[in-house]
Amino acid sequence: MTFLVLFCGVAAVCLSSCDHIDAVGDKVNELKDVRKQSSQGVEGMDIKAIVSGAQNAGPTVQDIGEVDFQTFISQPGRLNVVDFHADWCGPCKQLAPVLSGVIETNSTVARLGKLNVDHARELSREQGVTSIPDVRFYVDGKLVHKFVGGESKETLETLIATHSANISPAGGGGDAIPGRPRPPNAKHIEEAMKPMEKEWLPPGMIKK
């Protein structure tokens, strides 16, 4: 009878230990699956496209009007340049390709909004535009520089470099890879993978 009780006790301890080991084993396999899925997800991403998309939110050169003028100049993270122009303006046509080219080259720190004064007469009057081309530089909605007439490519590059020097790119923080989701239950699984305590014993067993 004593032997039977002892055998049952040992069997119960073994079953409990096996259950614990099986549970840890399940967590190990679950963590491996999560890591494998995460790795596959990253491998399937076009990293260059993601980074490029994060750096260039919206077109680098775009047409704007009265409705979206304020939103455009207030965009954080880049130097927002507005070109007040008109289709009939000769100097505007001469400046346009040079200005657009410089902006495209510096697309990570600047963008260009082309505003036709004939389509935004009230706004142009409010902004004090009297001659065109009238080009203005904004940072977080504040006017930091303007010029009227033409400028050389070199001068435009210097202006952009000067006025974008202290701008912090938008969208900082968060995941290292934009759009990458956090693995499900990652914290819970990693906690289960912590090394066992040195003095740990299966339930029911006493260290002698």
Please confirm, yes or no, whether 92 is among the known catalytic residues: yes
Task: Answer positive or negative: Cα dihedral of 141, 144, 150, 152.
Answer: negative
From the list 72, 71, 78, the residue with the least C-alpha distance to 56 is: 78
Residue 36 structure tokens: 């494998």
Please confirm, yes or no, whether 18 is among the known catalytic residues: no
Residue 206: CB atoms within 10 A of its CB come to 5
| Residue 118 dihedral angles phi and psi, to the nearest 5° | -70, -20
Q: What is the DSSP pairing of strand 110-116 with strand 142-148?
A: unpaired
Which of 8, 14, 18, 89 is catalytic? The answer is: 89
Which of 8, 14, 18, 92 is catalytic? The answer is: 92
CA distance 187 to 83: 51
From the list 199, 188, 200, 175, the residue with the least C-alpha distance to 42 is: 175
CA distance 76 to 199: 56
Catalytic residues: 89, 92
